[in-house]
Amino acid sequence: MLEILWERPYTSYCDDCLADLLNVRRQAINQRSRQLNRRQLIFRAKMMCSCCGREKICSMVEDELIRAVKNLRSAELSLRSGDYRTCVIWSHQTIEAALEGVWRAKGLTPLKVHNLVELYVGVKDIMPPLDTAYLKELTDRFWAARKGEDMSKDVAERYLRFARSVMGSARESIRKLRIRG
For the chain, the domains span: 2-61, 64-180
How confident is the model at residue 150, as a pLDDT? 95
| Cα–Cα distance, 161 to 156 (Å, whole number) | 9
**DSSP code, position 71:** H
Residue 52 has pLDDT above 80, yes or no: yes
The domain defined by 64-180 folds into Four Helix Bundle (Hemerythrin (Met), subunit A) (1.20.120)
**Residues 34, 57: contact at Cβ < 8 Å?**
no
Of 13, 41, 40, residue with least CA distance to 26? 13
Strands annotated E in the chain: 13-14, 43-48, 55-60
Supply the pLDDT for residue 178.
72
Q: Are 160 and 91 in contact (CB under 8 A)?
A: yes
Q: What tens digit of pLDDT does each residue of 122-179 get?
A: 999 999 999 999 999 999 999 999 999 999 999 999 999 999 999 889 988 887 877 6
Q: Are 58 and 44 in contact (CB under 8 A)?
A: yes
Question: The whole model's pTM is what?
Answer: 0.76
Cβ burial, residue 16 (10 Å; 0-12/13-18/19+): middle
Report the side by side order of strands in the sheet with 43-48.
13-14, 55-60, 43-48
Beta partners for 46?
57
Under the banding of pLDDT at 50, 70 and 90, the label for residue 2 is confident
Asked whether residue 91 carries a pLDDT value surpassing 90, the answer given is: yes
The band of 3, judged by pLDDT with boundaries at 50, 70 and 90, is: confident
What's the rounded Cα separation, in Å, for the pair 68 and 26? 27
Report the pLDDT value the prediction gives residue 113, as an integer from 0 to 100. 94
Name which of 22, 75, 14, 73 is nearest 47 in CA terms: 14
Q: What stretch of H or E contains 150?
A: none
pLDDT for residue 119: 96
Give the pLDDT band of residue 181 (cuts 50, 70, 90): low
pLDDT at 43: 82
Residue 180 is predicted with a pLDDT of: 66
Q: Using CB atoms within 10 Å of the CB of residue 156, give its burial: 0 to 12 exposed, 13 to 18 middle, 19+ buried.
A: buried
